[in-house]
Structure 1
Amino acid sequence: MRFNFILTAAGLALSMAAEVLGKPVVIGYYPSWKRAQMAGVDYSKYTHVNLAFGIPTSSGTFSFDGDWFLPQTVTDIHSKGAKALLSVGGWTGSNFFSNIVKNAGSRSTMISSMVNYVKTNNLDGIDIDWEYPGRLGNNCNVYDITNDTPNFLTFLKELRAAFDSNFGSRQKLITLAVRIEPFDTPSGYASDVSEFAKVVDYANLMQYDINGGWNADTGPNAPFNFESGKGLQASFVSAIDAWTGSGWPANQLTAGIAFYGRSTIAKGDMTKDPNNQYQPQESVVPLGDSEDASWYDACAGSTANSGVWMWKHLRDQGVLPSTSTAAAPWVRQWDPVSQTPWLFNPSTKQFISYDDPQSLKIKVDYAASKGLAGTMIWSMNMDYNGELMNVIQSWQTGGPSTSTPTTPTSSTTKTTNTMPATSTKTTTATSSVPQPSTTSTGGNTGGGPVAGGSCSSTGSYQCADTTGRNPAYFLCLYGKWMTQSCGSGTACYQSGSSVSCGWPS
């Protein structure tokens, strides 16, 4: 049996990023309303902690409901070597940004408030989570598609000048939480955001909440790739492409990771079409995990459920007895395009899209291969025994993965109806991880690669031999072949340009 784990250029990133960019940033959001659940979080696993949220008023001031515990929390964060920032805005806190940034007086008020708050609370900077410049987020928000983006740039330049004047040049951080495409303008998203990057330290991509209960069909919360014609045509990959293609430096961009999934109710039995996670769904979102509850939406004037399932509760409520196995009646599926798992309960017709260690590994490796600064996590309180954080930390340890991940199509603890690991759907994805090439063979008089020999295509792979029993393979990095190895007990297989690790025949 062979697990068709194709080696890609993303695998080189773990060593390359450590060498080129140094220690990756790991930015975690600390929801103030979940303080009780933060007790077991290890701040030393993070480089930055964004305390959420400061809520702006129409005048430009803001308030934070965690003022009472902030001093001790900042001290605790600093004691673990991480930086502490206040995040201002959020989904329900973005009502007034548009009006604030268009007026010089209210901009000045907000900037003064931020400077004073940073001073008073010994913070390392401010994170701004405006959802969204030039686009409606929450229905209560004011937005101006023509002027929000240029006004936001003016505000950020003034904030940077104030921070530098009060604290010294680039001594305090300005970070942004941003959507999957750059800021909106009347002609589409901004084609050049390079001026923003000159005054901002990091933009944190929110590469999740891409599909959900607001859609007509079920779909992946955080797809690695999107499927043509199905769901929102956006993904983890397309978000990175959109921002870097618009002039945002990759080394000032972090990849957004959701430590949660979203649930909806399908209209039919999704197990009858198990290779399709895009199926009609009900408009009412069910309750999610044990921490979910109906919440009142002041804008809509009604109550609703979030449908959120934190990773820790998928695990501790028994839905997932292991990281890759579902408990009956839940059935786990793996989608080869979105590169994410999903769950379905035939009894309740509940669907859950989420990320697990397998899907996060794909994202982390790819982000590193693109030269990103690191990762951003929503949110710090949602992990289970460090299972997801261990994957995030793999970026820091360097080197390709030495494990061989399985790619089950479906699984439960009481059934064996799994499809072959090599099966795939006939689909067309608009973006993908770069595929391996074997065109570079320089440096070996026998025609094959040797360690330290020259090669011409960074990201190329080649097995050390064709026996199907040797775990060694070669990776082309910066013009030189490097020796790598498949996981314990597995061997390298090569068929044309396809290189994979699997159990020896």
Structure 2
Amino acid sequence: MRFNILITAAGLALSMATQILGKPLTIGYYPSWKKAQSANVDFSKYTHVNMAFGIPTSSGTFSFDGDWFLPQVVSSLHAAGTKVLMSVGGWTGSNYFSTIIKDTTARSTLISSMVNYVDANSLDGIDIDWEYPGRLGNNCNVYDVANDTPNYLKFLQDLRAAFTSKFGAGKKLITLAVRVQPFDVNGSPTTDVSEFAKVVDYANLMQYDINGGWNNVTGPNAPFNYQKGEGMQVSFVSAIDAWTQAGWPASQLTAGLGFYGRSTIALEDMTQDPTNQYQPQSSVVPLGDSEDAPWYDACAGATANSGTWQWKHLRDQGVLTSPSSAAAPWVRQWDPVSQTPWLFNPSTKQFISYDDPESLQIKVNYAASKGLAGTMIWSLNMDYNNELLNVANSFGSGSSPSSTTSTTSTSSTKPTSSTTATTTTATSTPPATTTTSTASQTSPSSTATKTTPGGGPVVGGSCSGEGAYKCARTDGTSASYFLCLYGSWISSSCGSGTACFQSGSSITCSWPS
């Protein structure tokens, strides 16, 4: 794969050639319970759609509650040139994976069920959304801390062999939805997932639901970088690092983009400390947008609101009057570490962390620079006039929003007919628990300026010119580069096999001559 990346301080403008063998992936999840809301989606803008979810039973069979409309959807998607997979599992559908894959009979039954279902419905493959091998996840999940991950590998190897036997080598896809760290073994993420990558086509990183109502402070739902000592110590960047360092090829990863945000209730007036999005919050989660409703979680034994705000409803329910402007009394802020916007309503003390075109462009550009295969979206029914999907589709094209270097400035406009969210509440239960990582990320500290022998800065050195880029070395012998963020240099790297070249105020990631 040959690619070049041009990064400018002013606009984060990147340019990357697409993969020789095809365009970047845009994978969207299609929730079966959102059929009506998905009716107007332009499926030609997606390379793959994962139907969610097939739910396994303890015996190894599985069922999909959208069977009645699946043939029509598959026909429409194939006509648009889009591949269709059945996603098996999900947050509430992974109860029995651990017991199935350790039992020879149940494992064979599940594999046969998947092969037969793909064949009968003319599908292009199977996606497995088991996010927590070796750890609890949902309270109803059975798990085996020592054996889930090795058993999962054996299962995937057998599934690949069955697909090859039935359809031929390389004819059907196997993809995985995975959390921000590799599968667990004996309480820690495994350090080698390379054998998984040999039988799996792509792993879709779920780089969202990182902070939420399960925390005791507000924080970003999907941070690009995490801030040291604040919120969960994982991020979009650390997830890519964790998987690639464990041996998963970047070219077989997709970057997860959430087309939604999460709301909570702050215990303080966040406008009094507007540069700090980490402030005490209530354990009670408010209702989110017009599609949110209290739901009973049988596993947790409690009723809760999700607090979810889909992008389309941030836009059509009077919270945002434009992608970057909030309607009064909502106030929009931008966090330069997490590289995400957040909203606060002083009247209700509601806080919403979300992604918009600006924050998604930063993620898409970074994922392209790291050599990932494309993007994954949860979920395709949540967009508004393709405002977010167009950003996902810009992967590797060099696109950039007009103001990717936002600071913590606020934006407020006259309210429309509906400017505030309801404050109906219910007790919160966490949808996921994410462990912390020791990977180094950013913190707003500053030290004396330092330089490397090649003329570049070092991590922690002070800098001026927010958003400025510098190669670690000026002679084109290093892939490392630095970004000026919050007054300090942070480090990143060009894609595998490439080097950083300085060109005035821009840098280019390209193959060494």
- TM-score category of the 2 structures, normalised to the smaller one: 0.7 to 0.9
Name the residue aligned to 1:148.
Answer: 148
Structure 2 CA distance, aligned partners of 1:407 and 1:255? Answer: 22
Correspondence 1:477 to 2:478: no
Name the residue aligned to 2:35.
Answer: 35
Correspondence 1:463 to 2:504: yes
| Residues 370/476 of structure 1: CA separation in 2 closer, same or farther (3 Å cut) | closer
User: How far off is 1:326 after superposition?
Assistant: 0.6
* 1:126-275 superposed matches below 5 A: 126-186=126-186, 188-275=188-275
| Residues 235/329 of structure 1: CA separation in 2 closer, same or farther (3 Å cut) | same
More helix by share: 1
Name the residue aligned to 1:502.
Answer: none
Name the residue aligned to 2:364.
Answer: 364
Structure 2 CA distance, aligned partners of 1:427 and 1:190? Answer: 32
Name the residue aligned to 2:9.
Answer: 6
Name the residue aligned to 2:288.
Answer: 288
SS in 1 for 2:412: coil
Name the residue aligned to 2:64.
Answer: 64
| Residues 156/335 of structure 1: CA separation in 2 closer, same or farther (3 Å cut) | same
User: How far off is 1:409 after superposition?
Assistant: 1.4
Contact 1:255 1:372 survives alignment (8 Å):
yes
Structure 1 CA distance, aligned partners of 2:297 and 2:59? Answer: 23
Summarize deviations over 1:53-92 as a string: whole Å, max 9, x none. 0001010101100000000100001000010000000000
| Residues 161/88 of structure 1: CA separation in 2 closer, same or farther (3 Å cut) | same
1:407 maps to a residue whose letter is: S
TM-score by length of 2: 0.82
User: How far off is 1:390 after superposition?
Assistant: 1.0
User: How far off is 1:404 after superposition?
Assistant: 4.5
SS in 1 for 2:499: coil
Name the residue aligned to 1:116.
Answer: 116
Structure 2 CA distance, aligned partners of 1:104 and 1:392? Answer: 41
Aligned length: 443
| Residues 336/195 of structure 1: CA separation in 2 closer, same or farther (3 Å cut) | same
SS in 1 for 2:218: coil
* 1:63-82 superposed matches below 5 A: 63-82=63-82
TM-score by length of 1: 0.83
| Residues 29/457 of structure 1: CA separation in 2 closer, same or farther (3 Å cut) | closer
SS in 2 for 1:26: strand
SS in 2 for 1:150: helix
Structure 2 CA distance, aligned partners of 1:260 and 1:278? Answer: 19
Contact 1:265 1:281 survives alignment (8 Å):
yes
Contact 1:21 1:373 survives alignment (8 Å):
no
Structure 2 CA distance, aligned partners of 1:48 and 1:19? Answer: 16
Contact 1:54 1:89 survives alignment (8 Å):
yes
User: How far off is 1:15 after superposition?
Assistant: 1.6
SS in 2 for 1:243: helix
SS in 2 for 1:180: coil
SS in 1 for 2:35: helix
Correspondence 1:310 to 2:310: yes
Structure 2 CA distance, aligned partners of 1:21 and 1:281? Answer: 48
Correspondence 1:437 to 2:476: no
Contact 1:438 1:460 survives alignment (8 Å):
no
Structure 2 CA distance, aligned partners of 1:50 and 1:103? Answer: 27
Summarize deviations over 1:265-321 as a string: whole Å, max 9, x none. 001111111111011100011000000000110112221100000000000001000
User: How far off is 1:427 after superposition?
Assistant: 4.3
SS in 2 for 1:210: coil
Summarize deviations over 1:184-223 as a string: whole Å, max 9, x none. 0115101000000000000000000000000011000000
| Residues 404/463 of structure 1: CA separation in 2 closer, same or farther (3 Å cut) | farther
Contact 2:227 2:443 survives alignment (8 Å):
no
Structure 2 CA distance, aligned partners of 1:437 and 1:407? Answer: 23
SS in 2 for 1:411: coil
1:323 maps to a residue whose letter is: P
What is the aligned-residue RMSD (CA, Å)? 2.5
User: How far off is 1:39 after superposition?
Assistant: 0.8
Summarize deviations over 1:89-112 as a string: whole Å, max 9, x none. 000001000000001100000001
Structure 2 CA distance, aligned partners of 1:304 and 1:84? Answer: 32
| Residues 300/323 of structure 1: CA separation in 2 closer, same or farther (3 Å cut) | same
1:385 maps to a residue whose letter is: N
* 5+ residue gaps, structure 2: 1-7, 415-441, 447-458, 461-465, 477-496
Structure 2 CA distance, aligned partners of 1:441 and 1:190? Answer: 37
Summarize deviations over 1:349-375 as a string: whole Å, max 9, x none. 000000000000000000000000100
**Highest CA radius of gyration, 1 or 2?**
1
User: How far off is 1:131 after superposition?
Assistant: 2.8
Contact 2:256 2:376 survives alignment (8 Å):
yes
Name the residue aligned to 1:337.
Answer: 337
Contact 2:204 2:376 survives alignment (8 Å):
yes
Structure 2 CA distance, aligned partners of 1:215 and 1:308? Answer: 15
Structure 2 CA distance, aligned partners of 1:457 and 1:82? Answer: 31
SS in 1 for 2:257: strand
1:119 maps to a residue whose letter is: D
Name the residue aligned to 1:401.
Answer: 400
User: How far off is 1:474 after superposition?
Assistant: 6.7
| Residues 89/111 of structure 1: CA separation in 2 closer, same or farther (3 Å cut) | same
Summarize deviations over 1:219-261 as a string: whole Å, max 9, x none. 0000000000110000000000000000001000000000000
Structure 2 CA distance, aligned partners of 1:138 and 1:36? Answer: 28
Structure 2 CA distance, aligned partners of 1:476 and 1:67? Answer: 46
User: How far off is 1:394 after superposition?
Assistant: 1.1
SS in 2 for 1:113: helix
User: How far off is 1:19 after superposition?
Assistant: 5.1
Structure 2 CA distance, aligned partners of 1:361 and 1:412? Answer: 20
* 5+ residue gaps, structure 1: 416-423, 443-455, 465-472, 481-505
Contact 1:223 1:338 survives alignment (8 Å):
yes
Structure 2 CA distance, aligned partners of 1:176 and 1:201? Answer: 8
Structure 2 CA distance, aligned partners of 1:27 and 1:233? Answer: 26
Structure 1 CA distance, aligned partners of 2:220 and 2:29? Answer: 22
